């Protein structure tokens, strides 16, 4: 350690002496030279934006595309986008209620995420870009200046769930602000099961359940509690089957494994128990 400090001190002492010998006048450059142009900031890319009236204007620069639509859960039907002179495809929604909305672009039949949006809704089946239409005042699922709880993710080996790769699965835990692991009497525990195709992060990454719990605690509407959000598939083969392209309905898997196609909160609960009746 001392040798490293001595070496660094020696180098620092020599630098001022070496500087005059190394200093040279920078070459003059024509402001219009290629070197100057290379240092100029890149042009602004057309980004999807939320407008003051609650509409969303979707933008995607794709000059070579022949047809682009945007599929969003804000609307029942995809929006057809039009291309401007710069090759930017544009479409605007009607005014929307404050909420997080998912969307994907469909370029000549191929679904893609918004390359300029880092917020993504992740599940086991598909990916969506996420965008917030904010509310006034802010809605419970928006980030505000109130005490916040912690969200942690845990991996474990399951001896109950079926067909999990290497028997590995996961769950997410929310603990309230000021959580005390040694609190007398402990905390009540709420178990939340996600919808079909969601991961264990569905309630927090997509539903922002942790922010809503923070808000209800701040407003005195609930007592402090622990919330456990497991990966709620009793048999993970229902997800693996989708990646194989299996038809769950024709093969009877949807009925056999208690999976509701529209929303599987209840299906996950019964599906988690059914393979182990009597335990």
Lowest-confidence region among 6-10, 158-162, 265-269? 6-10
Its pTM stands at 0.70
> Is the pLDDT score of 171 beyond 90?
yes
234 and 120, same domain (yes or no): no
Domain hosting residue 181, numbered range: 150-276
Confidence tier at 42 by pLDDT (50, 70, 90): low
210 pLDDT higher than 80:
yes
156 and 255 in a common domain: yes
- Same-domain pairing of 229 and 120: no
**What is the tally of structural domains in the chain?**
2
128 and 159, same structural domain? Answer: no
84-141 pLDDT per residue, tens = 999 999 999 999 999 999 999 999 999 999 999 999 888 888 889 999 999 999 999 9
pLDDT of residue 17 exceeding 70: no
CATH of the domain at 174: 3.40.50.1820
Both 171 and 75 in one domain: the answer is no
Which contiguous run of DSSP H or E holds residue 193? none
> Position of tokens 């392209």?
245
Whether 142 maps to a domain, the answer reads no
Residue 151: its pLDDT value, please? 97
Q: What is the pLDDT of residue 15?
A: 40
Does residue 44 lie in a domain region?
A: no
d(CA 37, CA 31): 8
Looking at residue 46, its pLDDT comes to 81
Token pair listed for 211: 């922010």
Q: Based on the domain organization, do 165 and 269 belong to the same domain?
A: yes
Query: Is 140 inside a domain boundary?
Result: no
Report the C-alpha gap between 194 and 243 in whole angstroms. 19
Q: What is the CATH number of the domain that holds 117?
A: 2.60.40.10
Query: Is the pLDDT assigned to residue 252 strictly greater than 90?
Result: no
DSSP 24: -
CA distances from 265 to 163, 192, 194, 230 (A): 20, 8, 6, 12
Q: pLDDT confidence of 44, banded at 50, 70, 90? A: low
154, 129: one domain: no
Question: Does position 262 have pLDDT exceeding 70, yes or no?
Answer: no
Distances from the Cα of 15 to the Cαs of 2, 4, 5, 24, in angstroms?
20, 17, 16, 15
Per-residue model confidence as pLDDT tens digits over 218-245: 999 999 999 999 998 888 888 878 766 6
**Beta-sheet pairing, 189-191 with 226-230:** parallel
Neighbours of 190 (CB within 10 A): 14
139 vs 215: CA distance, rounded Å? 9
Higher-pLDDT residue of 174, 12: 174
Residue 158 belongs to some domain of the structure: yes
């Amino acid at each position: 350690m001392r040798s490293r400090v001595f070496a660094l001190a020696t180098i620092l002492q020599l630098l001022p002496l070496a500087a005059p010998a190394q200093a040279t006048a920078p070459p003059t450059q024509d402001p219009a030279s290629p070197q100057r142009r290379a240092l100029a900031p890149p042009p602004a890319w057309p980004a999807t934006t939320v407008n003051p009236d609650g509409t969303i204007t979707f933008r995607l620069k794709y000059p070579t595309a022949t047809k682009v639509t945007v599929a969003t859960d804000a609307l029942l039907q995809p929006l057809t986008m039009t291309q401007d002179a710069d090759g930017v495809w544009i479409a605007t929604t009607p005014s929307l209620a404050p909420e997080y909305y998912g969307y994907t672009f469909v370029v000549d039949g191929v679904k893609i995420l918004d390359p300029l949006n880092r917020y993504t809704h992740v599940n086991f089946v598909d990916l969506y870009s996420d965008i917030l239409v904010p509310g006034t005042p802010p809605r419970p699922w928006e980030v505000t200046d109130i005490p916040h709880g912690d969200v942690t993710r845990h991996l474990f080996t399951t001896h109950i769930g079926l067909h999990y790769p290497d028997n590995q699965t996961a769950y997410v835990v929310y603990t309230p602000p000021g959580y005390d692991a040694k609190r007398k009497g402990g905390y009540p525990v709420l178990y939340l099961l996600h919808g079909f195709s969601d991961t264990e992060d569905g309630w927090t990454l997509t539903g922002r359940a942790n922010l809503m719990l923070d808000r209800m605690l701040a407003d005195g509407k609930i007592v402090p509690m622990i919330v456990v959000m497991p990966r709620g598939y009793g048999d993970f083969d229902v997800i693996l089957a989708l990646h194989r392209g299996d038809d769950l309905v024709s093969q009877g898997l949807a009925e056999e494994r208690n999976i509701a196609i529209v929303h599987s909160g209840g299906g996950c609960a019964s599906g988690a128990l059914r393979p182990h009746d009597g335990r």
